[in-house]
Amino acid sequence: MEATKTHIVHGGTLRYLKHDSVTTGTSMTLSVFVPAGEGPFPVLIWLSGLTCSEDNFTTKAGAYRAAAEQGLIIVAPDTSPRGPDLKGRAVADDAAYDLGQGAGFYVDATETPWAPHFRMETYVVEELIALIDAGFPTTKTRSISGHSMGGHGALTLALRHPELFKSVSAFAPIASPTRCAWGEKAFTAYLGEDRSLWDAHDAAKLVEAGAGQNPGGAGAFDDILIDQGDADGFLVDQLKPELLVAAAKAAGQTLTLRMQPGYDHSYFFMASFIADHIGFHAKRLKTS
């Protein structure tokens, strides 16, 4: 990976990086914060939402004071492959913020023209994790969190790959993309018309089906932390956290939903509670 910018923040080092991805066949970008000291440190992966790049979290979340105090590396990848010649651009108008570049939905596309490049699940759980463990002083343990589309990604990747993550949390996640317009549009394009294949990428349906088990059958996550603003304009039509709560209750999965009065969908919301999430993950990452 090549560093394009480096900053010192709260005693640690923040790097913007790029690399040629074997998974997406494109250049990918990300940011990595490493606290002061020799380490090794556990890792928190952050997945951002629609229209975002790695820069939104990096510049707006205010996460690095808490990460420095807790001794966590934070990794924030871009939300999709990008490029002027990228397959998919011709069918995804740049004005369509909810499909194509900036809207990878953390799935591996199977449909034309998306399949060659839009492979964000494999990128995160295989290539990105391997690159971070090889290039930084990690303990090779990690947790995952995200916002909106990235909250959907954090939940589904953790539930689909529980052996990789110690804990999972989300801000305003798309809780059930098979039952909202954002998800239906993206899944039709990326995964095809067969809706039965979509359920494997729907957090509420995964929880209800008992996903999130480590090998041997033990539950991977003692709790799932969700923060949701009650003034979020997307709450009713797109996010639907009540479906996730109902699924967790049916499956016996502990889930903490904190409805935050007056908060919206912006990074002001995340900046207000990011330290709680970092503490939530640090507790579990430091417990073997």
Q: Which residues are catalytic?
A: 148, 232, 265
Pairwise CA distance, residues 260 & 186, whole Å: 28
Residues whose CB is less than 8 angstroms from the CB of residue 254 and which lie 6 or more positions away in sequence, other chains included = 221, 222, 223, 224, 248
Pairwise CA distance, residues 41 & 28, whole Å: 24
* Sign of the CA dihedral with 185 first, then 269, 175, and 104 last: positive
Q: Are 75 and 128 in contact (CB under 8 A)?
A: yes
Pairing of strands 27-34, 73-77: antiparallel
Pairwise CA distance, residues 95 & 12, whole Å: 37
